[in-house]
Structure 1
């Protein structure tokens, strides 16, 4: 990757240059120490003048039509005068670490729109169906003038708390009559979702989708009231027939207005920043410890003993933590 100075990125983002935006995201994803130093400076500069935006996280079981929905919904938002950035996460291979990164081909129409930016990234080893630099990518997209940021996750079942902790509005997508799918979705994500969209509410499935909406609303009444006072809403949509996007957007806007009226919108973002700091700090501290020659050698030794059943996992952990405490004293 070609190296540029800090001014290059700041100027490019301010001028809403998508080439520079792509380079900036690549910069923050880089593991090179020199790149990380510039990336940290860049993020510190852009956070001071962050633009108003709405961050929307979208999750759902595979096959529910997330990409088709996002393409249609994104196009609808552009028609409403929004600039739309999509951060689409593809699952990484556990064997090779590679990823197909096919979201641009699945959102062909939206990717050609000059008011849209689509960035596919591999999830890597990060839980929650997101990339470990997704938060940084969101900030960079906002600095480049995008006021609607959509984060598409791999799917449900990993750690939706991580996704919810970086967006303003969390949307769960399901299919008509997906009772079996709902059984596999943890209650936590149902409570966490600010809105639920039943996609593919068209053709023969239209009637089934309406019944699914009634069933969902009945089930949601059994949940404890949200601390924010917001009640999860359910809407029907057909990405195929391009219907229901207006209802989904009204739902998002209603949520945003309700949260801003009692300052919960800003408080939520502040809490997310604190969580982000704690995550980065904890990871950095752990990395610094692991890089210590003495600890690294001990870790390799204990790994070998655990593999050969010469020591229990609990005992190995105890020895490792004792070495850490000794190093810190």
Structure 2
């Protein structure tokens, strides 16, 4: 299959890199010509435009920062969609919007796949990230070989839109975990605990999590650069709150978390790194939540392997 890839930012740049590295025929497009040039130098082709990519490729992947950006790109591609063409949405987006756009693609005879990723930029860089795929089974079988070059664990979740719903749920949980880790580390520092020991105590306990094993290290090293900005966090947790509102679920933690993140944006900037939320507590207490020996960037030490479909318990 010939693959088009639109959106070469923090996540898309790494996902497209996995395709290129594994010998897939890839053409790329981004509003930043430097991103395109870097991928062309690595072995991709310059796709010129979304419209041209849909004409030239069997499947076109989008990995973009907002639902509005995806809608604009799909609108440009639609005149060139027909039988056999596939649009694969790897952005974190609104489920209703991806279903709306997917229906437009289907009306033209094409197929749509809702396939966001989860697991951090460092795992996107090595092809070890997890991918949810929402589409009919026949389309899933067509795109699975492509997905297994970008991700380790591939979960077919059902119809289009389901993957986006699950993805915003996981980002809600990750953000909640980040804020609780910030509080836990600060309280332990105030109580006189060694933060290196504290990190290992959490990692060996029932309080451990993916967020702790990754983002806590960046907090403690002082880098606070997880390659995920507060505006993206706000988009995702806002989408989760919208799902709750649409279904009449009265949440208590979610609105508080949104306000905490808004305060972080007011202090440090709309697009500040999300791990800088620890600095709210450092400023309030006068403590430095840092410790020696922790990395300033995350590296995936899991060897790259071809991905596989995750079996669902029935």
TM over 0.5: no
TM-score, normalised by the number of residues in structure 2: 0.28
Structure 1 or 2, whichever has the larger Rg, is 1
- The alignment's TM-score, normalised by the length of structure 1, stands at 0.27
